[in-house]
Structure 1
Amino acid sequence: MKKLIVGSWTAGSFNVDKFAKSLLLFRNAPRSGAASPAQMVLNRPVRDALPAHRRSFAPEWQQKTDVLEKRARRAKEVQIEHYNKTAHSLPPLSIGDHVVIQHPISKCWSTPAVVVEIGPHRDYLLKTPAGRLFRRNRRMLRKRVPVMPGTKSTSTPTPPAPIPVKPETTSTTKSMPPAPEA
């Protein structure tokens, strides 16, 4: 808009006609991904100083653009519907919950922690057993059940007892075939 005003000054005076033409062109220019402001208000393009064919102002072009807009709207709805099929929010954590933190580089879930504070934007302040404090987003946290000392854990299976294997009896020395008689 400032460029339109600056461009309307000629020889130290403000040219109102030049400003009106440039404002008309500005309002008739389509914005990114949408119709021009004049088309939004009047449902058709406005005649301006730029040359255009008469048929571009005909109502059938407006009907065709309406059909295209409906198709684009429907395609966007299908895209949103497809995305939302599997997207879901993670349940919020509460203070005192035991969690595992995902390492940002290796992506391993290795660091245990306890939620100390809940932030305003799905972020949590966590304290590890070593005493370090981390602030992580909910996506980087997984809830875990803490293992109490003295209770048997079902999450870590005990290795099975070794099964004795009976060694097979094989000949360790190979006999040479008899030499041919000459």
Structure 2
Amino acid sequence: MGIHTHTVSSPLYQQSNRLAERFVQSVKKMLSKSKQDGKDPYIAMLKYRNTPLENLDSPARLLMNRRLRTTIPTIKNRLKPKCDKSSKPLPELQPNDTIRFQHNPKGKWDHGTAVRNNITPNSYVIETPEGQIFIRNRKYLLKTKENKVEQTSLEEAN
């Protein structure tokens, strides 16, 4: 699966976000059909989540990396998530650690300082030498032994 870019649509103009609108239309149609047929709408949603998309895995597989248990019999080991056995946990960062961080997965590495752990797991609040604050996943942070880049004032820059 390739890297996807996040594209935002215009606020208050639903037509610009065709994929989301199509999804809403499909769900409404599915729910009204299950009500009309006297079937359980939750089973209809479960079937939708387990159905592979065009050129992609199912929504459940994309979200949880596993198949969901349905009314159709299946082998139990297919319900287990696939784990990346080659991955290992990254060491925790400490406040004031000098780091490099990426703005996006293919972006350049910029200087920063770890300020503190964020509320969410593997997430850190970082500060750039210019004073900007970012929150990044540990995956996009690289601890360095470089000297801390000091904050520059506007007078020094001129």
Query: Would you call these one fold, judging by a TM-score over 0.5?
Result: no
* Structure of larger gyration radius: 1
Higher RCO (CA-CA < 8 Å; seq separation 6+): 2
Q: TM-score, normalised by structure 2?
A: 0.43
